[in-house]
Amino acid sequence: MYRWSVVSKSETETLEIGKKLGRLLSQPTLVLLQGDLGAGKTVFARGIARGLGVDSAIPITSPTFTLMNHYSARIDLYHFDLYRLSDPDELIELGFDDYAFGSGIALVEWPEKLDNPETPGVWVNLKRIDDELREITFTVTAPEYVDLITALSDR
Ligand SMILES: Nc1ncnc2c1ncn2[C@@H]1O[C@H](COP(=O)(O)OP(=O)(O)O)[C@@H](O)[C@H]1O
Ligand SMILES: [Mg+2]
C-alpha cells in the first residue's frame, strides 16, 4: 500500500492538485473521493475534469440527483455522487460497473455507498482541518497507481 498526503490551503490549491492528477491520467481509472459534506470532493473532481481537458465553460457540479454526469474529454469522464443512493440495486440500473471498470475515468463521491469497500482504485480522502485547510490523502495498492501518485507528488 502506498499513501501520500498533502495539505491544501485553498479551494484553488485543491483544484490545482486535481488538475495535475487529471493531466497524469492516461488509462481507465477509478477514483474514489471520500470526505464529509463540504470537504471538497466536488472541487477536486472539477480539477480532474479540467486536467482531462473538459472546457472551463462547462460547469462541473455534484450529480446529486442524477447520480452520474458524463463529460467528453481526452478520456471520457463519469462523475458519480452516490450520497442519495438508497438501494444498491440502483447502481445496477445505472450500469455502474460498466463505467467504473470500463474505458473511461470514473470519479465516485460517497464510495461508502458501494457494496465492496475494498474496491481497487485511487482512494482520495479529503479532511477539513478548518475553513480553508484540507488534508488530502491518496491511498493506492496497484503498482500502476503507485506510479501515478508518485508522479503527482513529484510535481
Ligand atoms: N482547501 C480547500 N479545498 C477545497 N474546498 C475548499 C477549501 N477551502 C474552502 N473550500 C470550500 O469548501 C467547499 C467544498 O465544497 P464541495 O467540493 O462541494 O464539497 P463536497 O463535494 O465534498 O461536499 C466549497 O465551498 C469550497 O469553496
Ligand atoms: Mg460533492
Q: How far is CA 93 from CA 39, 67, 87, 97, in A?
A: 28, 11, 10, 10
- pLDDT, tens digit, 9 for 90 and up, residues 89-98: 999 998 999 9
Residue in the structure block whose three cell numbers are 496497484: 142
Query: Which atom of ligand 1 approaches the CA of 40 most closely?
Result: 17
Distance 80 CA to ligand 2 centre (A): 9
Atom of ligand 1 nearest to the CA of 13: 1
CB within 6 Å of ligand 1 — which residues? 8, 10-11, 13-14, 35, 37-43, 62, 109, 132, 134
Ligand 1 nearest atom to the CA of residue 35, by list position: 22
Mean pLDDT in residue range 127-147? 97
Domain span including residue 110? 2-154
d(CA 97, CA 110): 16
Give the count of domains, the chain: 1
| Cell numbers given for 69 | 454526469
Residue 17: what pLDDT?
A: 98
**Section 83-92 average pLDDT:** 90
CATH number, domain containing residue 90: 3.40.50.300
pLDDT given at position 67: 93
Residues 141, 128: Cα–Cα separation, whole Å: 24
